[in-house]
Chain A
């Protein structure tokens, strides 16, 4: 989805996406 960004570093892939609303409420 447009909200997900993929970053590669030293052969490792990081997928960045918004923290699910439900998880934010937990904190």
Chain B
């Protein structure tokens, strides 16, 4: 878990076949979050590298009641920290992973 206390990992192997990734996010260090959240529950979701933004997904997670508004920035940051390296890898090696 980065300094956000949240862990984001690939829920499925990234085969570069399309722009969507399956990601899984969960709370690894509850002390680092400000608001209420669901402990010991992983949230799996798809993230489209071309159309989605981490902020938008974080907002939807707050709206769905998974996290408190005060933690949406941390959720967005943990998603961004995971998807940015994948985006960069794909830009360097468009021929696929």
Contacts and interface: CB of A to CB of B under 8 A. Distances in A.
Interface of A: 7, 9-10, 12-20, 23-24, 26-27
Interface string B18-49: 00000000101100000000101111111000
The range of chain B's interface size is 10 to 19
Contacts of B42: 16-20, 23
B43 A14 contact: yes
Which 5 A-B pairs have CB atoms at the shortest separation, nearest pair first?
A15-B44, A9-B60, A27-B28, A9-B64, A19-B42
A23 B46 contact: no
A19 B40 contact: yes
A26 B9 CA distance: 14
